[in-house]
Structure 1
């Protein structure tokens, strides 16, 4: 299982802790330190669309209107912390965020 997030993000830490407790092996990608491969960004955007861009982040608020209107994938490549997180991938499936539905998907059958 691969998880993309930020090491200092509380939600990402909660997700990793719960996934590991459920027996999942985690390959963690810190989007700030490690970056996100362009091909991964394309796949994520194809799966989640505009939901992938965290428009409540301080990074988003600091962007100009012109930057906000640009290509979302290029924007995420330039500012990886704009990505909503965590993105979790396993068995060819992707999820975004750590809500109750995502937790049920990854934790229910693995405890």
Structure 2
């Protein structure tokens, strides 16, 4: 198996999310402990554009990006959930960034959604 090798310190690492999310806190702690330099992009403070969201969707798919565990999604009616399509989901995620699954880690065009120490270790191997 050929692995993509690179020096993490020379690659821009961006972690997207919202700061009060427990999973974001775990991911940030992991990156700090591993001494991986990264930029944190807070959707609410730093902004979220349709262009950014569309790029994420093209890489990962809107169903993967949609946080179905959050209160915002759970507050949708059953009819809204059943009829949800790509365009509606993107509009909701743009309006309510908490509806985006977190964290989203981006390194040189590579995307990783969610957090576990094992997945991050493999991602940076």
Once residues 27 and 117 of structure 2 are traced to their aligned partners in structure 1, the CA distance between those partners, rounded to angstroms, is 11
Once residues 104 and 55 of structure 1 are traced to their aligned partners in structure 2, the CA distance between those partners, rounded to angstroms, is 26
- Answer whether contact 2:30 2:117 (CA < 8 A) is retained: no
Give the drift of 1:100. 4.8
Q: Which residue of 92, 102, 109 maps to 2:119? A: 102
- Taking a change above 3 Å as real, the CA distance of residues 102 and 40 of structure 1, as seen in their structure-2 partners, is farther
Q: Give the structure 2 partner of residue 69 of structure 1.
A: 84
Task: Decide which moves more: 26-35 or 83-92.
Answer: 26-35
Once residues 100 and 16 of structure 1 are traced to their aligned partners in structure 2, the CA distance between those partners, rounded to angstroms, is 11
Give the drift of 1:32. 2.6
TM-align CA RMSD: 1.9
Q: Which residue of 71, 93, 102 maps to 1:58? A: 71
Once residues 31 and 20 of structure 2 are traced to their aligned partners in structure 1, the CA distance between those partners, rounded to angstroms, is 17
Structure 1 or 2, whichever has the larger Rg, is 2
Stretches of structure 2 lacking an aligned partner (at least 5 in a row): 1-12
The equivalences for 1:1-111 within 5 A come to: 1-49=13-61, 50-64=63-77, 65-66=79-80, 69-70=84-85, 71=87, 72-107=89-124, 109=125
Report the number of matched residues.
Answer: 108
